[in-house]
Chains A and B, each alone.
Chain A
Amino acid sequence: MPFEQILQYIFSGITNGSIYAIVAIGFNIIYNTTGIINFAQGEFLMLGGMTAISLSAFMPLPVAILASVVITSFVGALIDFIFIRRLKKPTVLNMVIITIGLSILIRDIALHVWDEKVRSLPYFTGSEVTSINILGAYISPQVLWVLGVSGIIVALLGVFFRVTVTGRSMRACASNMTAARLCGINTRNMVTISFMLSAAIGALAGCVVSPITQTQYDCGTSLAIKGFTVAILGGLGNSTGAVIGGIVIGLLEAFSISIMPLAYKDAIAIAVLLLILFVRPSGLFGKKEAAGLKEF
């Protein structure tokens, strides 16, 4: 395979991989404070993209994106208030079913609020036909946006969890909920914040990828499954693992195309995940009992 082609696959893999990683980090944030896997995480991307597209008709693009991030994080908070806070001692099974239900509801509401049509945000820089040549591989400027924004999100989260009081409190919740509560941390509010944070990150990612992948009411589900795959691969709760897992899955998919029909792309990533789970049931980087986000 010529070098340019390999490089092209690498770019394609890293782009998709970083999107998966962002979704997986969204999963992890909520998982760490609540122990819940939020299957509606993909819907945050869809909501973010859709809201920004609708708003961009009335306001400049950066404002529309900002507004959509705020609105989506509000939706995240609302989900916590209405559904999650009410539950007393939910089992994993209950939570899986509730968040799947939520994902279906959001998707269906989006179908009736917007419609079945595909939409997309304009390219942030350049246009559909702009192409940048890097060592013989060609990428769209939007790809750089995706990579840049993903990098910034990961970096900012790292700072947030290490430096700020809220971030530290959330880490405390992750490692031991009861101990955190005894230390005077309002664990319930931490859960709300984790939902808002995760929704906001999702919405931002949804906006950045919209020009490339297009946004439709049901585009969140497949992303959620990919994000879940990545989160499990990297070890639940481990955000470094999520980033590495995302890129591994992205690259795996990209290179699988060169030898297999595209139709089996999703199946390959998941087959690899299953194999890993059978050998190491806690994922690549997960602690035996899926530890919290101790080292972000």
Chain B
Amino acid sequence: MSLKKLLTLIVCMAVMAIAVSCKKQNKETVKIGAIFAVTGGASFLGAPEAKTVQMLQDEINAAGGIDGKNIEVIIKDSAGKPENAISFAKQLIDENKVFAIIGPSTSGESMKIKSICDDAKVILVSCAAAESIVNPISKYVFKTPQKDSDAAQMILNLMKKKGITKIGVVSSNDGFGAEGKKQLEKLAPGAGVQILISEVYDKKATDLTGVLTKIKAKNVQAVVNWSIVPAQSIIAKNMKQLNMNVPLFQSHGFGNIKYVKEAGEAAEGIIFPCGRLLIVDELADSHPQKQVLAKYKKDYEGKYAEDASTFGGHAYDALMILVEAMKRGGSDKEKTRDALENLKGFAGTGGVFNYSPADHTGLDINGFELLTVRGGKFVKYEDK
């Protein structure tokens, strides 16, 4: 390769880089970064999240923005890869000078950019569930999905009531599954429940009969599946296929009607703790979340012609909480952060948020409701 060619190429590269990066600056807008796994293995989380945020941006701006300023959400597709999330977080902070970042969708990515945001003093409202994101607490890092320990506690409480003492646990091998498994193992003895067998599967798993055969041989009284991936419906189907008639408990990761549709009849009777988005019709009008949930569900389903899921709800909460804090804190990052940390009684899709300096999750066990599947629909679980 000749010198001339090399030079030409490098010049082309430089021009390209600058052309790509120079976007029009608008002084009237507040920029908010969003990193979601729109494609790739975690797209079932990232895609509804990105759609939700897009929809909210338009809604907020149509309603006059925040204090007269429009918001501009810069959505980056990380494809669920931590290295991309790291690059995008730095880009959003250094280059786009965003006010705050919402996302990422997965806990692995959130853990990677946690310290980047904290060092840069940029608020991060994560949409990933793992508790390790906010424990230990970082000053600028918050999250919206409910606590895994609360979900585990709810399931175990019900087991205690039903006299279930021997269970098998299956979980996905991501942060969500690992955290759930950890919490179940920690809390089970307190409820007098014994975990006889614990198995982990991959997010791309398509056949779980092998694992379930192993569990079946242990004669468990119930199976708990802790994951957020599509394999949740396969578990239900495979259990029925293997003629396992013990109850199946799922985590709050099951909060997507799509999974029920995939599992079909096999989904009937699955019990899981979840936010109230899925049973909004059953809520009393006086319930603090009723209005928020009904509006989000209607808007989302109207705009995108697909069922709203709790995953999109996490992004809704993340953006709306941030917007609420910005209304109180103005354009000052520190004041907004303080406002967010002290936000109380904010009704979101995941529950009523009460943040404090010691709690960056904002939700307690009351954010959950036990749900079950009846006639292909989510309904509130009632103990017979």
Residues in A neighbouring B234, C-beta threshold 8 A: 212-214
Q: Is the CB of A263 within 8 A of B266?
A: no
A262 part of interface (Cβ distance < 8 Å): yes
How does the 8 Å CB contact mask read for B10-45 relative to A, with 1 for contact and 0 for none? 000000000000000000000000000011010110
Query: A116 to B199, alpha carbons, bound, how many Å?
Result: 27
How does the 8 Å CB contact mask read for B228-272 relative to A, with 1 for contact and 0 for none? 001001101100111100000000000000110011111110000
Q: Is the CB of B241 within 8 A of A131?
A: yes
Q: Is the CB of B210 within 8 A of A212?
A: no
Closest to A255 in B: B210
Q: Is the CB of A116 within 8 A of B39?
A: yes
Task: Spot the interface stretch: B131-139, B201-209, B292-300, B358-366.
Answer: B201-209
User: Given A139-B241, A212-B237, A263-B201: A128 and B264 within 8 A (CB)?
Assistant: yes
B283 part of interface (Cβ distance < 8 Å): no
User: Given A116-B47, A117-B258, A128-B264: A262 and B242 within 8 A (CB)?
Assistant: no
Query: A213 to B208, alpha carbons, bound, how many Å?
Result: 10
Residues in B neighbouring A140, C-beta threshold 8 A: 237, 240-241
Task: Spot the interface stretch: A4-12, A83-91, A152-160, A288-296.
Answer: A4-12
Q: Is the CB of A262 within 8 A of B201?
A: yes
B200 part of interface (Cβ distance < 8 Å): yes
A258 part of interface (Cβ distance < 8 Å): yes
Q: Binding site of B, secondary structure by majority: helix, strand, loop or mixed?
A: helix
User: Given A117-B44, A212-B237, A262-B210: A111 and B39 within 8 A (CB)?
Assistant: yes
Partner of B207, one of A16, A116, A131: A16
Q: Is the CB of B230 within 8 A of A214?
A: yes
Residues in B neighbouring A41, C-beta threshold 8 A: none
Partner of B213, one of A8, A123, A128, A222: A8
State the Cβ distance, A259 to closest chain B Cβ, in Å.
10
B214 part of interface (Cβ distance < 8 Å): yes
How does the 8 Å CB contact mask read for A134-148 relative to B, with 1 for contact and 0 for none? 000011100100000
Q: Is the CB of B206 within 8 A of A214?
A: yes
Q: Is the CB of A118 within 8 A of B44?
A: yes
State the Cβ distance, B198 to closest chain A Cβ, in Å.
10
A184 part of interface (Cβ distance < 8 Å): no
Closest to A140 in B: B241
Query: A39 to B230, alpha carbons, bound, how many Å?
Result: 25
A193 part of interface (Cβ distance < 8 Å): no
Among A218-257, those with CB < 8 Å from B are 218-219, 222, 253-254, 257
B165 part of interface (Cβ distance < 8 Å): no
Closest to A221 in B: B204
Residues in B neighbouring A265, C-beta threshold 8 A: 210
Residues in A neighbouring B230, C-beta threshold 8 A: 118, 214, 216
Partner of A9, one of B44, B210, B262, B267: B210
A54 part of interface (Cβ distance < 8 Å): no
Query: A254 to B210, alpha carbons, bound, how many Å?
Result: 6
User: Given A117-B44, A118-B44: A9 and B207 within 8 A (CB)?
Assistant: no
B211 part of interface (Cβ distance < 8 Å): yes
A60 part of interface (Cβ distance < 8 Å): no
Residues in B neighbouring A139, C-beta threshold 8 A: 241
Q: Is the CB of B242 within 8 A of A115?
A: no
User: Given A9-B210, A222-B204, A258-B210: A138 and B241 within 8 A (CB)?
Assistant: yes
Partner of A12, one of B41, B209, B267: B209
A125 part of interface (Cβ distance < 8 Å): no
A15, A117, A130: most-surrounded residue (chain B CB, <10 A) = A117
Query: A269 to B86, alpha carbons, bound, how many Å?
Result: 34
A120 part of interface (Cβ distance < 8 Å): yes
Partner of B243, one of A115, A133, A266: A133
Query: A116 to B43, alpha carbons, bound, how many Å?
Result: 6
Q: Is the CB of B243 within 8 A of A131?
A: yes
Among A6-37, those with CB < 8 Å from B are 8-9, 11-12, 15-16
Q: Is the CB of B264 within 8 A of A8?
A: no
Residues in B neighbouring A213, C-beta threshold 8 A: 206-207, 234
How does the 8 Å CB contact mask read for B267-301 relative to A, with 1 for contact and 0 for none? 11000000000000000000000000000000000
Query: A16 to B43, alpha carbons, bound, how many Å?
Result: 26
Query: A253 to B210, alpha carbons, bound, how many Å?
Result: 9
Query: A282 to B233, alpha carbons, bound, how many Å?
Result: 40
State the Cβ distance, A12 to closest chain B Cβ, in Å.
5
Identify the 5 closest CB pairs spanning chains A and B, nearest first.
A116-B43, A257-B210, A128-B266, A213-B206, A140-B241
Listed A/B pairs (5) with beta-carbon separation below 8 Å: A5-B214, A123-B264, A213-B207, A262-B208, A263-B200
What residues make up the interface of A, taking CB atoms closer than 8 Å to B?
2, 5, 8-9, 11-12, 15-16, 111, 115-120, 122-123, 127-131, 133, 138-140, 143, 212-214, 216, 218-219, 222, 253-254, 257-258, 261-263, 265-266
Given A111-B39, A129-B240, 4 new contacts (CB under 8 A): A118-B258, A128-B266, A128-B267, A143-B241
